[in-house]
Amino acid sequence: MIVPLEHILILAALLFFLGLGGLLAWRTNLIMMLVCIEVMLNAVMLVFVGGSTQWGNADGQIFAIFIMALTSSEVSLALAMVVYLHRRKRTVNTDLFSEMKG
Amino acid sequence: MTLFDLLAFMPLVILATGAILCLLAGAVRPGGYLYELAIVVVAASMLWSLALPADGMLPGISVTPYARFCALFLDLAGITGLLLAAGYNRCRGIVGEEYPATLLFALVGMGAACAATDLLILFLGLEAFTFAFYILVAIERGSERGGEAGMKYLLNGTLSAAILAMGIALVYCSRGTLQLAELAAQGRGAGHLYLAGLSLILLGLAFKLSLVPAHLWTADVYQGAPAPVTALLSTASKGASLAALLLLMPLVTGWPGSHAILWWLALLSMLCGNLAALVQSSIKRMLAWSSVAQMGYVGLALTAAPAGGLRAAAFYVVIYAAAGLATFGAVAVLSDQGERDGIDAYRGLGYANPLAGAALAVGLFSLAGIPPAAGLMGKFAVFAAALRGGETALAVVGILTALVSVFYYLRVVVALYMRPAEGECRESHSLAISEVIALAAPTLVTLFLGVYPSPLLDLLARLIS
């Protein structure tokens, strides 16, 4: 393997915290929050594929494929909800979805 | 894979086939009979595992006595949830086959999570049932709050999935295997990567168990979701998450870091949950915060894992689930067209609707830990394990917060049996037979376990070594 595992882990950590930071910073827009979570999950997949190459077994790659399936279904559900909420309030600004507090 | 393995996995196969059957039958002829079909499917799966108990093993998943017990517990909760939902959903105009089918899919996911022997199946099972709950929370399309609650749950749940998956990825990177048995056998070693992975896994599961600081979704989701869904979310979903966590415990016990993590999670959950529940005026929010606090007691038991804490945690969750189903079931049954949410709206209902009032009162007694309801036994088991394990400080905090919690639970009971506000003479609508069963069963279980808990304790002692 040409790229050492450490480099993959550093890149994945950067992506993961980029996603997490974005999620916390962009809390006003639903779509951007979903994008940030996707970035985090992509970092996870990177770690799995890197680990898979390191250990020479396919478990990690299988896990990465399952994460792809999981995220695609989650995003489809999330976008359905975004469309539904947008119809109600004409916005994707999360600050306006504050029916419940306390 | 042999025929015997297939026989052992039949309960899960029955549930999955039943879910697809529900979807198909609903497409051909929609109607309320789908709830009965779903109940029959769950009962069939349960009877199969009781009548033909067999151990089986497939890659990543194996049916053990522990998995069968968890599946039985989850199936019972699922049946109660379906019975409650049948009447509630008809009243609210939640029509269609989606509700029973999604619930069956959730049960499949929970069953898989409890039977996992490998982190991939564990993760997929957890995410499968959480995914089903995203849909169930938002299923009431006419409701103002349903969509908002669903979205909040989805965002928080996906974030926790990402954290959990990252934890599993780091564990895999440092060990090269996903098998739980191999990971436990390899020991901890000194790998920072491995320990970071374990911490992230614990944090991800803390989201599912709504332990502080990963609890922020709980109150909003519990309030916004339809009451029968909240009943399942607070019992079956928590039970399955704890069952999965118990499978992971051999990896983390003995590592001081995991003890510290669980210690803080338990402490913060007990304090925040009980204090926040004190000031709530909505019953569902109050119960949501109380479930945060109750999960704190479970966390307290987990910190004392070497001293029989795992058994105590499982025992506590079973008791909590019975009480949770009784309370949320009563909230569902007592709700009219709108959700009956304010605590003041429950004034005098103990007379207007004796059975539902009694179920709510017994459930709240159990949550507060007042005999003869089972909650006291659960709390006793947890605190005894904590003291045996040397967690004196945490146990004292637990006992003090449990005393505080009595106030907000009894506030509802007092309202129930107060005179109704003047000029309000409610029609007491008679309960359907399904609602009577759904309320009476968890109430009786709560009372029974409060008087005679030893069979369940013995069973759990055999299952969780």
Residues within 8 A of B (CB atoms), A 51-70 only: 51, 54-55, 57, 59-60, 62-63, 66-67, 70
Q: Do B193 and A16 touch (CB under 8 A)?
A: no
Provide the pLDDT confidence category of residue B418 given band limits of 50, 70 and 90.
confident
Residue A2 to chain B, least CA–CA distance (Å):
17
Do B148 and A33 count as a contact with CB atoms less than 8 A apart?
no
Burial level of B198, CB count in 10 A (0-12/13-18/19+)? buried
The answer to whether A17 faces chain B, any CB pair under 8 Å, is: no
As given in the structure block, the two tokens for residue B141 are 């399309």
Q: How far is A30 from chain B (nearest CA, A)?
A: 9
Asked whether B437 and B354 are in contact (CB, 8 A), the reply is: no
At residue B421, the pLDDT reads: 59
**Using the beta-carbon criterion (under 8 Å), do B159 and A37 form an inter-chain contact?**
yes
pLDDT at B428: 57
Query: Distance (Å, rounded) from C-alpha B259 to C-alpha B188?
Result: 14
| Tally of structural domains, chain B | 1
Q: What are the distances in angstroms from CA B461 to CA A3, B66, B313, B314, B386?
A: 49, 11, 11, 10, 16
**Is there a contact between B219 and A74 if contact means CB atoms under 8 Å apart?**
no
The distance in angstroms from the start CA to the end CA of chain A is 53
For the structural domain made of A5-91, what CATH number should be given?
1.10.287.3510
Query: Per-10-residue mean pLDDT for chain A, 102 residues long?
Result: 86 96 89 93 95 92 95 92 85 74 60
Contacts with B144 from chain A: Cβ below 8 Å: 99
Query: Which residues of B sit within 8 Å Cβ distance of A?
Result: 120, 123-124, 127, 131, 134-135, 138, 141, 144-145, 147-152, 154-155, 158-159, 161-162, 165-166, 168-170, 172-173, 176-178, 193, 219-220, 223-224, 280-282, 285
**Looking at the DSSP assignment, which residues form a beta bridge with residue B61?**
B58, B116
Q: Is A19 on the interface with B (CB under 8 A)?
A: yes
Domain boundaries defined on chain A: 5-91
Please, which pLDDT band fits residue B58 given cuts at 50, 70 and 90? confident
Q: Does A15 touch chain B (CB under 8 A)?
A: no
Entry pTM: 0.94
Signed CA dihedral, B50, B55, B58, B59: sign only? positive
Rounded CA-CA distance B186/B195 in Å is 13
Binned at pLDDT 50, 70 and 90, residue B422 comes out as low
Can you tell me which residue has the tokens 């029955």?
Answer: B14
Contact check, Cβ <8 Å, B165/A67: yes
Chain A neighbors of B135, CB-CB under 8 A: 77
Residue B382: CA count within 13 A, CB half-sphere: 33
Three-state DSSP state, A6: helix
- Read off the pLDDT of residues B4-24 as tens digits, 9 standing for 90 and up: 888 889 999 999 999 999 999
| pLDDT score for B429 | 65
DSSP A3: S
Contact A41 B161 (CB under 8 A): yes
Q: Which residue of A has its CA nearest to B196?
A: A13
B234 within some domain? no
Instruction: Answer yes or no: do B173 and A50 touch at CB < 8 A.
Output: yes
Do B172 and A51 lie within an 8 Å CB cutoff?
yes
Does residue B293 register a pLDDT over 90?
A: yes
Look at chain A and count its residues.
102
Q: What is the pLDDT of residues B362-381, one digit of tens each?
A: 999 999 999 889 999 999 99
Instruction: Please say if the pLDDT value at position B350 is more than 90.
Output: no
Is B301 inside any structural domain? yes
* Contact call for B169 and A97, based on CB within 8 A: no
Q: Which residues of B touch A35 (CB under 8 A)?
A: none
Does residue B427 register a pLDDT over 60?
A: no
Q: Between A and B, how many residue pairs show a Cβ–Cβ distance under 8 A? A: 116
Please write the tens of the pLDDT for every residue from B200-257.
999 999 999 999 888 889 999 999 999 999 999 999 999 999 999 999 998 887 788 8
* Cβ contacts of A67 on chain B, cutoff 8 Å: 165
Q: Residue B426's pLDDT is what? A: 54
How far, in Å, CA of A12 to CA of A15, rounded? 5
Residue A11 CB coordination number (10 Å) = 15
Mutate to test the interface with A, among B158, B174, B203, B284 (most CBs of A within 10 A): B158
Which positions in chain A touch B155 (Cβ < 8 Å)?
30, 33-34, 37, 78
Record: contact A44-B162, CB cut-off 8 A: yes
Kindly report which listed range (B28-32, B232-236, B263-267, B336-340) carries the lowest average pLDDT score: B336-340
How far, in Å, CA of B78 to CA of B35, rounded? Answer: 11
Mean pLDDT over B341-366 rounds to: 88
Per residue, the 3-state secondary structure of chain B, as one string, reads CCHHHHHHHHHHHHHHHHHHHHHHHHHHCCCCHHHHHHHHHHHHHHHHHHHCCCCEEECCEEECHHHHHHHHHHHHHHHHHHHHHHHHHHHHCCCCCHHHHHHHHHHHHHHHHHCECEHHHHHHHHHHHHHHHHHHHCCCCCCHHHHHHHHHHHHHHHHHHHHHHHHHHHHHHHHCCCEHHHHHHHCCCCCHHHHHHHHHHHHHHHHHCCCCCCCCCHHHHHHHCCHHHHHHHHHHHHHHHHHHHHHHHHHHCCCHHHHHHHHHHHHHHHHHHHHHHHCCCEHHHHHHHHHHHHHHHHHHHHHCHHHCHHHHHHHHHHHHHHHHHHHHHHHHHHCCCCCCCEHHHHCCHHHHCHHHHHHHHHHHHHHHCCCCCCHHHHHHHHHHHHHHCCCHHHHHHHHHHHHHHHHHHHHHHHHHCCCCCCCCCCCCCCCCHHHHHHHHHHHHHHHHHHHCCHHHHHHHHHHCC
State the pLDDT confidence band at B43, using cuts at 50, 70 and 90.
very high
Least confident of B129-133, B218-222, B259-263, B341-345: B341-345
Our CA angle for B137, B112, B236, nearest 5°, is: 40
Domain housing B263: 253-465
B452 within 8 A of B376, measured Cβ to Cβ: no
Q: Tell me the CA distances in angstroms from B181 to A66, B71, B250, B427, one per residue in order.
A: 22, 21, 9, 58
CA torsion, points B310, B73, B321, B461, in degrees to nearest 10? Answer: -30
At residue A34, the 3 state secondary structure works out as helix
| DSSP one-letter code for A71 | H
Distance from CA of B151 to the nearest CA of A (A): 7
What is the DSSP code (8-state) at residue A4?
-
Average pLDDT, rounded, for chain B: 90
What integer pLDDT is reported at residue B105 of this predicted model? 96
pLDDT of residue B56: 86
What is the rounded average pLDDT of the residues B255-268?
91
In a domain, B87, yes or no: no
- Residue B127: list chain A partners with CB under 8 A: 70
Query: Does the residue B97 lie in any domain?
Result: no
Query: Which chain A residues are within 8 Å of B123, Cβ to Cβ?
Result: 63, 66
Q: Which tokens is A17 given?
A: 């915290």
